[in-house]
Amino acid sequence: MARFRRRTCIILLLFILFICSIMMALKTLRPDRAGFGDPFGLGLLPELQQRTVLLDNKQNSLNRVQGDTVTRVSNLHSIAVNTMKASMPPVNKLEEELSSPNYNFHIFYYSWFGNPQFDGKYIHWNHPLLPHWDPKIANNYPKGRHNPPEDIGANFYPELGSYSSKDPSVIEAHMKQMRSASTGVIVLSWYPPGMADENGEPTDDLVPVILDYAHKYNLKVTFHIEPYKDRDDRSMYHNVKYIIDKYGGHPAFYRHKTSTGRFLPMFYVYDSYVTIPEIWANLLTVSGSQTIRNTPYDALFIALLVEERHKHDIHRSGFDGMYTYFATNGFSYGSSHHNWASLKAFCDSNNLMFIPSVGPGYIDTSIRPWNNHNTRNRVNGKYYETAFSAALLVRPEIISITSFNEWHEGTQIEKAVPKRTGQVVYLDYKPHKPNVYLELTQKWSEKYRKEQEQWLM
Q: Does domain 73-455 fall into CATH 3.20.20.80? A: yes
What local confidence, expressed as pLDDT, does residue 17 receive?
61
As a whole number, mean pLDDT of residues 3-27 equals: 56
Task: Specify whether the CB–CB gap between 77 and 207 falls below 8 A.
Answer: no
CA distance 153 to 364: 9
- Rounded Cα–Cα distance for residues 51 and 109 (Å): 29
Asked if residue 47 has pLDDT above 80, the reply is no
Residue 294 has pLDDT above 80, yes or no: yes
What does the pLDDT read at residue 454? 87
Cα atoms found within 13 Å of the Cα of residue 116, Cβ hemisphere only = 3
pTM of the predicted protein model: 0.81
Torsion of the alpha carbons at 255, 176, 86 and 78, rounded to the nearest 10 = 50
| Per-residue pLDDT band at 90 (split at 50, 70, 90) | low
- The answer on pLDDT for 25 being more than 80 is no
> Averaging pLDDT over each range in 37-46, 350-359, 422-431, which range is the top one?
350-359
Mean pLDDT of the chain: 86
Residue 219 in contact with residue 101, Cβ under 8 Å? yes
Higher pLDDT, 277 or 26: 277
Say yes or no to pLDDT of 191 above 60: yes
Write down the pLDDT at residue 98.
Answer: 82
101 Cβ partners below 8 Å, 6+ apart?
Answer: 179, 182, 183, 184, 217, 218, 219, 220
Domain residue spans in the chain?
73-455
Per-residue pLDDT of 209-239, as tens digits, reads: 999 999 999 999 999 999 999 999 999 999 9
Q: Where do the DSSP E strands lie in 338-385?
A: 353-355, 357-358
pLDDT, residue 69, reads: 33
